[in-house]
Chain A
Amino acid sequence: MAETTRRRPAVEGWFHMPEAGSGDQPALIGTRCTESGTYFFPPERVMSRAPGHADSALQEVQLSTRGKLWSYTDAQYQPPPPYVPVTEPHEPFCIAAVELEDEKMVVMGQVPAGVTVDQLTLGMEMELVLDTLFVETDEESGRNTEVVTWKWAPVGLKGSN
């Protein structure tokens, strides 16, 4: 029997994770305060944080999948737990903060491995992609699960790694 790769989202309910091969596109899931029109990410589920709109309905929405790079940096040192190391020794990875035009908000995310800060510039177009955050192994069965998260990839560089 062919082994199917198990995948699970790093956080439940924060992003849409299409089945492989479905042609469906990934997106961050936010909520929108229907009275004020403001967006929330991570999605607010309890009440709108927009002052004066506590009783407004919250509508689940998919956020824009493209935006402009607001700022960026990298993690030259391996972050402490609960970060799960992916390489031994640690390979620096980039972290981006991306400004979404429609939502008028900045959302952070890792940048796929292989991209260095030298390839990033403020204002450049970034695109949401799904990527492996780390792989976890079940101690009893030995089976691997790919833990998936969203990342921001420079549009021009997508697929180059």
Chain B
Amino acid sequence: MMEQVAVLGVGMHPWGKWGRNFVEYGVAAARDALNDAGIDWNDVGFVAGADTMRNGYPGYVAGATFAQALGWTGIPVTSAYGACASGAMALEAARQRILSGMCDVALVVGADTTPKGFLKPNSGERKDDPDWLRFHVLGASNPTYFAMYARRRMDLYGATQDDFAAVKIKNARHGLNNPNARYRKEVTAADVEKSPLVASPLRLLDICATSDGGAAIVLTSMDYARKHLRGDPSVRVAAISTVTPTFPNTIIEMPEFATDSAAGIPAPDRTFKQAIGDAAYEQAGIGPEDVGVAEVYDLSTALELDWYEDLGFCGPGEAEKLLRDDVTTLGGRLPVNPSGGLACFGEAVPAQAIAQVCEIAWQLQGRAEGRQALDDAGEPPKVGITANQGLFGHGSSVLLTR
């Protein structure tokens, strides 16, 4: 079991389409997190930024950009890019810095500004870039991949488009009272059905939007937290998993044209998404049965169901039953995406993995007003997990405990 670090403060800039510079969202989130922790920026010993690729040089060096905006203090800095897993990578850099004894307090920040419409590749002719080529040769946008997984669920497990809609309805209801959520409106089955097909079987309301937003976390060593708080910190990072797949990766992943081949070397026992969760559980010495709340990547409604299985909440093909039995709805045994998830937030790529951790922290502290998960005893959950995915088959998971 790894040593733990404390989550001393969390903060967000509300998601939306604000049309302002991403630095503004990041700085707002950072100041929010520092206030929450009761820590002055001058006391931070390390800053890690999650990069945004749509914002030129400042976005590529997000760590330094946020540090400059907050006021240079001479501290070490890093920037992390891992597509949707960027935030977890930045968090991991901060954790390692603390665990190695090189600093006591670290600030992790991610923020993004996204253009209208679907995410698309950078401009220019780049015939050796798979992300460019998949649009050019296949016409394969991100929903293409989400739809192929959804179709598999229907064929293999009997999932229906109504099940997918039920995920949207659940998450929309969860996010109703979340002040940081972009969409705060009930969605009905008819709304989903009326929304246009994007990539069969997925409709517009099955797929998450793109958003502006920011999120930040203050991490500290346990010793520092105890002194600072004059007591034990309530929330700790028990694990951060940023594992790569094991060859051969046999599930087709964005932006690839093909899977690895299992002809010479047999496929591993676990898919890469199962491995992400397993690595987190192993690091923390905790099992899926201990988890009381989860924030998972609902890029599409159907993908949320995949995560129930990949994170070990149920066996393969059992996710629809978990959903239909309201286990994953607030009030159930294991609420999933109590924040409203990407369904209510939309994607702000470098901020999203950090925002998931913010939500789990609020949930564990009992501060998720209007969307609080409670265990059988009416207490906030003791263990929460996040999961997201980057590109080429890598992703991350963070386990928090109290």
Contact = CB atoms under 8 A, between A and B. Distances in A.
B190 interface: no
B120 A81 contact: yes
Contact of A79 (B135, B150, B248, B264): B135
Bin chain A's interface residue count: 35 or more
Contacts of B150: 73
Interface stretch (B50-58, B169-177, B194-202, B354-362): B194-202
Interface stretch (A17-25, A32-40, A136-144, A153-161): A32-40
Interface in A3-57: 10-11, 33, 36-42, 49-51
Contacts of B289: none
A82 B132 contact: yes
A110 B133 CA distance: 13
Given A41-B257, A105-B263, A97 B136 contact: no
Interface string B114-148: 00011011010101001011011111110110011
A37 B200 contact: no
A13 to B, nearest CB: 11
Contacts of B138: 95, 108-110
A51 B247 contact: yes
Contacts of B68: none
B250 A106 contact: yes
B258 interface: yes
B265 interface: yes
Contacts, number: 139
Contact of A95 (B133, B139, B152, B198): B139
B155 interface: yes
Contacts of B155: 71, 122
A73 B151 contact: yes
B260 A38 contact: yes
A106 B265 contact: no
Contacts of A40: 260-261
Interface string A57-81: 0000000000000111111110111
A122 B248 CA distance: 22
Contacts of A81: 120, 123, 135
B258 A106 contact: yes
Nearest to A80: B120
Contacts of A11: 127, 133, 137
Nearest to A84: B136
B261 A74 contact: no
Given A73-B200, A80-B141, A97-B252, A37 B264 contact: yes
Nearest to A100: B261
B261 A103 contact: yes
A107 interface: yes
B69 interface: no
B137 A149 contact: yes
Contact of B261 (A72, A77, A104, A117): A104
B196 A38 contact: no
Contacts of B121: 82
B263 A79 contact: no
B60 interface: no
Given A50-B247, A73-B147, A80 B200 contact: no
A74 B127 contact: no
30 contacts: A38-B264, A50-B265, A70-B148, A71-B148, A71-B149, A71-B151, A71-B152, A72-B148, A73-B144, A73-B151, A73-B200, A73-B202, A75-B144, A76-B196, A76-B199, A77-B141, A79-B140, A80-B135, A81-B123, A82-B136, A83-B135, A93-B139, A95-B139, A103-B261, A103-B263, A105-B259, A105-B260, A106-B258, A106-B259, A133-B137
Interface of B: 117-118, 120-121, 123, 125, 127, 130, 132-133, 135-141, 143-144, 147-152, 155, 196-202, 247-248, 250, 252, 256-265
